Amino acid sequence: MSEPQRQLSRQLSRHGALVRIALFAAIIAVLGMLPKFDLPFAAGVPVTAQTLGVMLAGLILGPRHGALAVMLFLIIVALGMPFLAGGRGGLAVFAGPAGGFLTGWIAGAAVCGFLMPRNERNFWQAFIAAITGGIAAIYAIGIPWLAIVSGIGLLNAALASIIFLPGDILKALAAALVATMPGVHRR
């Protein structure tokens, strides 16, 4: 391959990566159109489908591009676009009880991508990656933030977050199934 061909190939690869990053940011936004619901004992953190998109971004795009897709989505939300479940957006959502979980999405996607083996379709590896990144990493950032903002203490914040585990495990299962389907390739 000649040097101009290599340069063109690198440019096309970069453009493809940008398209995939934007696509997964859009997927997370679309998942925000599904209605959220608030649990009275969850201290202001809603149940949403958007963490499924975060897990998928990491599993399919890899750690760097998955985290970039989530960052792009969060920047758009911070600019005021109402793409979070329930039509929320703006900087204020990051200062509220769910703010730590939202910023934890970046680490969640990165951990999912880091733990997902490249070019493999092993469901159990994908499931463990989704649980570790999409649940453990996000909770590790979200629970302390929830405790601080709500003033309920770390133990109570952790106990309030337990209610989300069954749904998050189902999302991890769905993400692992999608990420290991034939034709879905990690780039």
CATH (domain of 123): 1.10.1760.20
The pLDDT > 90 percentage for the chain reads 71
CB 154 within 8 A of CB 144: yes
Residue 129 lies in a domain: yes
Q: What is the pLDDT of residues 17-28, one digit of tens each?
A: 899 999 999 999
What was the pLDDT predicted at 47? 72
Residues in the chain: 187
Domain with 70, as residue range(s), is: 3-179
The helix/strand/coil state of 139 is helix
Structure-token pair, residue 114: 């880091």
CB 25 within 8 A of CB 150: no
Measured CA to CA in angstroms, residue 187 lies from 116, 139, 150 at distances of: 11, 27, 40
Residue 186 lies in a domain: no
Residue 166 lies in a domain: yes
- In the chain, the number of structural domains is 1
Q: What is the pLDDT of residues 123-143, one digit of tens each?
A: 999 999 999 999 999 999 999
The helix/strand/coil state of 88 is strand
Structure pTM?
0.88
CA distance 112 to 31: 18
